[in-house]
A and B are shown apart, each in its own frame.
Chain A
């Protein structure tokens, strides 16, 4: 039970006034029901803990999909001053640049509805998924270092997708400042075998269908033109490479925590000043992992497009699979914001939160200049996804950030118990979703009841003005690890 005091600011904002060592207040975006649920665990305490860290600007923020993590809450956003602030590996998470990409197609559901099972089987065969799965790609260390420097562009240069895909990937699919020299041999070794794998747990590849369009003008700019249009969503990250980078630096920072001039409320919040060598090295290594993840999703997209062509026996032109956008939701990035009337560069941590830029933001591709950034929010297994658009309000209030997904409500253990003697595959099929998973356990742990209702989460960010609803897609096929 949380001992944190919260006060209501307005319909969807709740404030944790600063007490003790908190340097700024905490602000949580949630409805009344969600906030009641949060009060039963440690997530609000974690919002308060983040507010203790030096150089934090404005507020320690939490999105409505917040849940109890380790160190930072999942669904947390915090920006730090470049001179006085810190960077925290735990504030990014182990799966660095875990993210989502959405591809639209020219296909209508009616054309493929009898082929969904075949597509799911073929995707399951062609996309390595599951615990410890290995890729058809084997990289030499020299080649891997190119991936780490170039990100998605490495994949495009090797024939996975096209140049145009980079424009519709956050940051062009490459984070600046990546230095493979800051990465351990362990991380390099793990990364060599996993580029082009989906992983396990909550990662997935889903065939989706546009179900409802809320804003036709924006949807059409995103290439989502009509109900019934087929799309594909991929949710994965930097695999073992990213986990190792986080683990290595967290251990280093925990070891050196006594050298910090402030007390840490939780060891997992171990961090380094952005101006320190350790902080800079983590930033350079984290950028490598971010680039690995973008290359990974780019490779998987290409294999997905090929699988569609082979299975449907149709030409790439006919299928017209194209990238709507690719967002990351576990990252720390240096971005510029107007703070107190002046432009300021800050380090924004988004741990389980998505960047959401408004129309006319300079970081947007021309294609989306007038409508804002596509924000991709996956729901629980088989629930499909929401596509939202970024707003000015997010830029003003949350360092251009919004929610990232549904957020767990049930521990994996409880989900396992609740799913005993049930066939989750059959239940999903009854709901019109064909699912294949490498592990039976994954399906149980990831069953829909284990997650918050995606609709509730999206409605909060929509009504709070952090991003606006554009379209909802429903799932028809899904592969999981």
Chain B
């Protein structure tokens, strides 16, 4: 009897240990995929993203002195959409990017009691130890959030 080996899809992010805060390691097949997965990861951590509908579109722009800064600044914008405007992200497409700028199109909807839950309050996405590197499997990023 032969066994079918089913390759589980590689997770797009994982939480790593950091005493006071929340570390997130994100994976992507390429740079844009990494940034997209980072936005989705942040949304996932805060709410059950399966219940969020992509009814509205928002444009997100970010810049920075290098890739890591662009990543942190991009995620700061995603976080502000949630914490500042009560808007939850469902999906995200990175429309344009170079090493210092990014423009993304996000879909999502305003938070609604009953439909959505807020699981974790992320106070901020920090610059501490922010890191992006390429590996044989693709791109990996690490950020630390204050919770």
Chain A residues close to B by CB (< 8 Å): 41, 67-71, 74, 90, 93-95, 130-132, 186, 189-190, 199-201, 240, 243-244, 246-247, 250-251, 254-255, 257-258, 266-268, 270, 408-414, 439, 441, 481
Contact = CB atoms under 8 A, between A and B. Distances in A.
Given A68-B18, A240-B83, 15 more contacts: A69-B21, A70-B21, A71-B126, A90-B126, A95-B123, A130-B118, A131-B119, A132-B118, A201-B121, A250-B127, A251-B73, A255-B64, A267-B127, A411-B17, A412-B22
Interface residues of B, number: 33
B95 interface: no
Interface in B61-83: 64-65, 68-69, 73, 76, 80, 83
Contacts of A41: 19
B146 interface: yes
27 contacts: A41-B19, A67-B19, A67-B20, A69-B20, A69-B128, A70-B21, A70-B126, A70-B146, A71-B126, A95-B123, A130-B118, A131-B118, A132-B121, A199-B121, A201-B121, A243-B83, A244-B84, A246-B124, A247-B124, A254-B127, A257-B65, A267-B128, A409-B19, A412-B22, A413-B16, A413-B22, A414-B17
Interface string B6-39: 0000000001111111100000000000000000
A95 B18 CA distance: 18
A186 B84 contact: yes
Contacts of A71: 126, 128
Contacts of B15: 413
Contact of A266 (B20, B120, B128): B128
A4 B144 CA distance: 22
Nearest to B116: A132
A50 to B, nearest CB: 13
Contacts, number: 97
A481 to B, nearest CB: 8
Contact of B17 (A90, A268, A413): A413
A246 B76 CA distance: 12
A130 B118 CA distance: 9
B124 A243 contact: yes
A247 B128 contact: no
B19 A268 contact: no
The 10 closest A-B pairs by CB, nearest first: A70-B128, A267-B127, A268-B128, A131-B118, A131-B121, A70-B126, A68-B19, A94-B123, A411-B17, A200-B121
Nearest to A130: B118
A21 to B, nearest CB: 18
Contacts of A254: 64-65, 69, 127
B84 A240 contact: yes
Contacts of A251: 73, 76
Contacts of B83: 132, 190, 240, 243
B139 interface: no
Residue with the greatest number of chain A CB neighbours at <10 A, chosen from B15, B68, B111, B126: B126
B78 to A, nearest CB: 13
A267 B18 CA distance: 18
B18 A411 contact: yes
A69 to B, nearest CB: 6
B41 to A, nearest CB: 14
Nearest to A187: B84
B130 interface: yes
A270 B146 CA distance: 16
Contact of A70 (B64, B65, B80, B144): B144
A68 B20 contact: yes
A413 B20 CA distance: 10
Contact of B119 (A90, A246, A250, A441): A441
Q: Which of A130, A411, A481 has the most CB of B within 10 A?
A: A411
Contacts of A95: 123
A304 B68 CA distance: 45
Nearest to A199: B121
A372 to B, nearest CB: 30
Contacts of A411: 17-20
Interface string B92-129: 00000000000000000001000000111101101111
A94 B127 contact: no
Contacts of B68: 267
Contact of B65 (A186, A199, A258, A413): A258
A313 B39 CA distance: 51
B20 A439 contact: no
A268 B127 contact: yes
B4 to A, nearest CB: 31
A441 B118 CA distance: 11
B86 A132 contact: yes
Contacts of B22: 412-413
A240 B146 CA distance: 13
Nearest to B68: A267
- Which of B19, B73, B80, B130 neighbours the largest number of chain A CB atoms within 10 Å of its CB? B19
Given A254-B69, A411-B17, A413-B22, A441 B120 contact: yes
B84 to A, nearest CB: 5
Q: Which of A132, A255, A413 neighbours the largest number of chain B CB atoms within 10 Å of its CB?
A: A132
